[in-house]
Every structure is written in structure tokens, then in C-alpha cells.
Amino acid sequence: MAERTPKIAYLTAGAAGMYCGSCMHDNTLASALTRLGVDVQLIPTYTPIRTDEEDVSIDQVFFGGINVFLEQQVPGYRFLPGVVRSLLDRPSLIRWATKRVSSTSPKTLGTLTVSMLRGDQGYQATEVTKICDWLSKTVHPDLVNFSNVMIAGCVPHLKRQLNVPVVVTLQGDDIFLESLPEPYKSQALSEIRKLVEHVDAFLTHSQYYARFMSEYLGIPPEKFRVVPLGIDTRDFPTLDHSVEARQDAPKTIGYLARLAPEKGLHVLVDAFIELRNREATRDARLEIAGWLGENNRAYAEAEFAKLGAAGLEDHYHYAGSIGREEKVAFLHRLDVFSVPTTYREPKGLFVLEALAAGVPVVLPSHGAFPELLESTGGGRLVTPNDPIALADELEKTLLDRPTSRRLGQEGAKAVHERYNADVMARATLEVLSEFFPTGK
């Protein structure tokens, strides 16, 4: 008898209309697993996802942002008729209502996070029952994968009702938790530690993050599985970084990530101003792209004003939040790429995208970056939070075109061969297969 195709319910968290690295990764992985013949349901939570590839998620949202918020804030809301609550879970309505989600107060976010982590013991108990019933009666999964631990409060209830293995992918959960004010941060960590015994495995994309999260959340090391990160490389033709191809173009540095303090835009701006004061790089140009939320607008505008005060208004450009085709074109205009994060990045999708286009990278020597660059050979590491060190390495990369071309070619070869979506899907499926019931 032929083996039955495994069914995976993959719960991902939408980011209120923002291009989010985690949900983009989840979408890419779900699509690649489907190409392998796996029956995958990519299930949005909170809000619909936004991705620059074909969206393979279902047209339904669980733990819908409006209902979750009102359950937290309005006494007795959970007793409203189900038809009313269903209307508020419409994806189009959630998109409209969450456009200004960044204005949510830290206190409200903290109480909501703790309540969600309490699952059927929190204010969102009705939502927990709803998703567990739907999974049990409609999907019948062999395994459930949560894309972060903040949406995994329902796991104890789910395990009781479905009796299937559960895995959680950790992709920067600590960054969110560290942003919560006390006492909510400590309460959230306490609730997560209670969930650990109910989760069969935790997936990460780097050895660094597995070690860090093991200690941070008190997870036994044997529960971790490291799976490769990957991107869809099919529309990323590599650049020609030959001297002949680039000799007449301005020396161009690129940044593609959210415009936020933790992503280190200010570090790159300071390094760029330093470069423009050096004789050999007076013609350097800075290209910036990425999502800018209202909560970070003052930060970004201060950095743009800094560039203006240095007389560089005509030597940088902010392209805004860009889609797939624009992203590829943006990367093809670059000589070197840098997102000098001030936090320890757990994965680094933007690194793979730059390398896939043949663009060498300069990154801080922390988080997952050392592992990525050791594996791909596509760039250089510098001391974190040091604009002068960053400027020095950017200058070397811009001026030494043959070395720059070699780094870009090595990085592109590694990503296209070993960090593409299909490689990621096969490696992930091999790990998940460990937990499928026999014969599935």
C-alpha cells in the first residue's frame, strides 16, 4: 500500500499589512513543501499575511486581530453570537482595521500577549476552541507547525483534542518579548516555559539561535532541530560584478529591511557620511528600501535629516516598501549590501536575497551572520554598532572590485545551490518526518 501524503497545518502570524520576514519565509516554505507533494495548509493568524511571492495561505484568519483585541478589552464580548464574531474575522475587514496597528500601546500589547499565551485559560478561549475544532473536523493534520511561540498558547488544548505532534519555529521571538514592558515580559516568559513540555520540537535556522533560545526559554537542547533557511531563487539572476561592467557606475551601497533602530539604519547612515568624507569614496551612493511604520517614522526622518545636514540630499534615495520585481531590480543596482542590525539576527533572509543577486554583504559579527557568511563565503563581518569599522569594510569592498566580484559570485553560488526554497523544504520535511505517525 502506498504511503499516504502527510498533512501539515502550518499556522503563521500576519503582520498587519507589513512585509514580514517570518510570514514571507513561511509562505515560501509552504509553497516548496507543496511542490514536494506534501498537503500543507498555511493558516494565517491575527491578520492576513503579506508576501512578495504568490500567497499560498488560505482565505481565512484565525485569532482574528479584531476579535482577539475586543475579547481582551470588552467584558462579555465572548458571549456575542458567533455570526457577529465571524463577520469581524473577514480578511478584508482585518486588513482595513489593522493599518495603524503600530500605534497599539505597550501595555495593551503586553496584556494581550500574556492572555494569548494562556490559551483556553485566557480571554481568547473561544478562539482556541474555534481553531482546534476546525483543525480536528476539517484539516485532520498529521502535524501542526506554529511559526512562533506567541501564537502557540492553544497547544495544550490542541494536543488533548487532536493528539498530533506539534512543532514551533522560532524566528525572532525574543525580540518581541524583549519589547514588552514589565510585568508582562516576565509573565509572558513564564507562560511560554509552561508550554515547552507540550511541544515536540523547536525549529531554528541557526545553531546560534538554538543555543540562545534554549537558555532564554528554558528549552532542553534535545528538543531543537536546526533547518536551513531558504528563499525562492528562481527570479534572482546573478549580477556581473566585473570591473568592466561596473567601472562607470557610482559606488552604491544598499539597505533593504524595515526602517527601525534594531535594524541599524542609523549605523549605516553614520558609516555612509564617513565614507563620503574620504577621498576614494566621495562618489558613493546609498540606496534604502523597506517598510516604514508610523511608530518608526520619526526615527527614519531623523536619519534622513542627518544625511541632508551632511549635504547628501542628492546622494541617497529611499525607495519605500518594494515588491518582488522592484526588489530584484533594486539589488541589481548595488555594489555592496549592509543591514547592520543592533540586535542578534536569528535568520537573515535579506542576506540570502542580496547574495542570490550576486551582491557581497558587510554585516555585524553577531547572531546568525557569522554562520551564514562562513557557509556562503559571500561577505565580510565587522564589529557591531561601530560606524567607523563598517565604513572601513565598505570602503574596501567598494574599491577592490575583483574581490567584491569573487565574494558576490561565491555567495550567489552557495545560495542558489544550498539555500534555495526546495533545499529548505526537503531538509525541513526530513526533520518533520521524524514526528509523523508510522506509515504517514
The grid coordinates listed for 344 are 542578534
Q: Which residues pair with 337 in a beta bridge?
A: 254, 361
What pLDDT is stored for residue 71 in this prediction? Answer: 61
What pLDDT is stored for residue 108 in this prediction? Answer: 73
The CATH-assigned architecture of domain 243-419 is: 3-Layer(aba) Sandwich (3.40)
What pLDDT is stored for residue 65 in this prediction? Answer: 54
Element (H, E) at 82: helix 82-87
Task: Output the DSSP codes for 99-142.
Answer: TTGGGS-HHHHHHHHHHHHTGGGSTTHHHHHHHHHHIIIII--S
What pLDDT is stored for residue 140 in this prediction? Answer: 95
Alpha-carbon dihedral angle through residues 359, 362, 367, 371, given to the nearest 10 degrees: 60
Three-state SS across 388-409? HHHHHHHHHHHHCHHHHHHHHH
Judge if 7-231+422-433 and 243-419 fold alike in CATH terms. Answer: yes
351 and 361 in contact (C-beta within 8 Å)? yes
Of the options 3.30.830.10, 2.30.30.30, 3.40.50.970, 3.40.50.2000, the CATH number for the domain spanning 7-231+422-433: 3.40.50.2000
What pLDDT is stored for residue 1 in this prediction? Answer: 36
What are the sequence ranges of the domains in the chain?
Answer: 7-231+422-433, 243-419
- Within its chain, how far is the Cα of 149 from the centroid? 14
Would you give per-residue pLDDT tens digits along the chain (440 residues)? 346 678 999 999 876 666 678 889 999 999 999 999 999 999 998 888 888 889 999 988 888 655 565 565 555 555 555 554 455 445 544 454 455 554 455 567 888 899 999 999 988 888 899 999 999 999 999 999 999 999 999 999 999 999 999 999 999 999 999 989 999 999 999 999 999 999 999 999 999 999 999 999 999 999 999 999 999 998 887 655 444 455 667 899 999 999 999 999 999 999 999 999 999 999 999 999 999 988 899 999 999 999 999 999 999 999 999 999 999 999 999 999 999 999 999 999 999 999 999 999 999 999 999 999 999 999 999 999 999 999 999 999 999 999 999 999 999 999 999 999 999 999 999 999 999 976 44
Position 174: which residue type?
Answer: D
**Backbone phi, then psi, for 51, in 5-degree steps?**
-140, 155
What pLDDT is stored for residue 96 in this prediction? Answer: 45
365 and 382 in contact (C-beta within 8 Å)? yes
Query: N- to C-terminal Cα distance for the chain?
Result: 12
What pLDDT is stored for residue 440 in this prediction? Answer: 45
Report which of 404, 166, 390 is spatially closest to residue 265, judged by C-alpha positions. Answer: 390
Position 421: which residue type?
Answer: A
